[in-house]
Amino acid sequence: MKELDSEMNSLVVIAPAKINFHLEILGLRDDGFHELAMVMQAIDLADRLMFRKNSEGKITLSCDIKDLSTSDDNLIVRSALLLKNCFQLKGLGADIRLEKNIPIGAGLAGGSTDAAATLVGLNELWELGLPIKELEGLACELGSDVPFCLEGGTQLCFGRGETLEPKSKASSSMALILVKDPSASVSTPWAYGRYREKRCQQYLVKESDFESCRKSLREASWLNPLWGGCLPPLRNDLQQVVEPVTPSVQLALKLLRDIPGNLGVAMSGSGPSCFALFPDIASANSCYLQNKKLFEQAGLMSWCCELRDEGVTIETYQ
Ligand code: C5P
CA distance linking residue 200 with residue 191, whole number of Å: 13
> What is the CA(192)–ligand 1 centre distance, in A?
7
pLDDT above 70 for 318: no
pLDDT above 60 for 189: yes
pLDDT in tens, 194-240: 999 999 999 999 999 999 999 999 999 888 765 566 788 999 999 99
pLDDT above 50 for 164: yes
For position 207, what pLDDT does the model report? 97
DSSP 196: H
For position 5, what pLDDT does the model report? 45
For position 88, what pLDDT does the model report? 84
> What is the CA(190)–ligand 1 centre distance, in A?
9
pLDDT above 80 for 82: yes
Buried b (16+ CB within 10 A) or exposed e, 207-227: eeebeebbeebeebebbeebb
Note whether 241 and 195 are within 8 A (CB).
yes
Residue nearest to atom 9 of ligand 1 (CA): 189
Class for the domain spanning 175-306: alpha beta
For position 23, what pLDDT does the model report? 98
pLDDT above 90 for 155: yes
For position 77, what pLDDT does the model report? 98
Domain boundaries defined on the chain:
10-168+309-317, 175-306
Q: Is 64 a known active-site residue?
A: no
Note whether 155 and 40 are within 8 A (CB).
yes
Would you tell me how many other CB atoms lie within 10 Å of the CB of residue 240?
15
| Residue 169: pLDDT band with limits 50, 70, 90 | low
For position 3, what pLDDT does the model report? 45
List Cβ<8 Å contacts ≥24 apart for 2-6: 2/317, 4/124, 4/127, 4/317
Residue with the bigger pLDDT between 308 and 1: it is 308
pLDDT in tens, 231-275: 889 999 999 999 999 999 999 999 999 999 999 999 999 999 999
For position 8, what pLDDT does the model report? 72
> Domain 10-168+309-317 carries which CATH code?
3.30.230.10
Per the DSSP assignment, residues forming a β-bridge with 19 are 41
Per the DSSP assignment, residues forming a β-bridge with 175 are 278, 306
CA distance linking residue 312 with residue 187, whole number of Å: 24
To 10 degrees, the CA torsion angle through 216, 217, 220, 222?
Answer: 170
Residues 6+ apart with CB under 8 A from 27: 34, 35, 203, 204, 205, 209, 210
| pTM of the shown model | 0.95
Residue nearest to atom 11 of ligand 1 (CA): 189
Q: Is 18 a known active-site residue?
A: yes
Residue nearest to atom 20 of ligand 1 (CA): 33
Note whether 273 and 242 are within 8 A (CB).
no
Percent share of the chain, pLDDT over 70: 95
Q: CB within 6 Å of ligand 1 — which residues?
A: 33-34, 36, 143-145, 160-161, 188-189, 192
CA distance linking residue 180 with residue 295, whole number of Å: 9
> What is the CA(33)–ligand 1 centre distance, in A?
6
| Residue 1: pLDDT band with limits 50, 70, 90 | very low
Residues 6+ apart with CB under 8 A from 166: 151, 153, 154, 155, 156
pLDDT above 80 for 107: yes
> What does pLDDT average to over the chain?
94
pLDDT in tens, 64-73: 999 899 999 9
pLDDT in tens, 19-58: 999 999 999 999 999 999 999 999 999 999 999 999 899 9
Percent share of the chain, pLDDT over 90: 86
Residue nearest to atom 3 of ligand 1 (CA): 143
Q: Which atom of ligand 1 is nearest to the CA of 196?
A: 20
Q: Which atom of ligand 1 is nearest to the CA of 34?
A: 16
- Pick the closest to residue 152 from 108, 210, 185, 96 (CA basis): 108
> What is the CA(56)–ligand 1 centre distance, in A?
35
> What is the CA(34)–ligand 1 centre distance, in A?
7
| Residue 170: pLDDT band with limits 50, 70, 90 | low
pLDDT above 70 for 150: yes
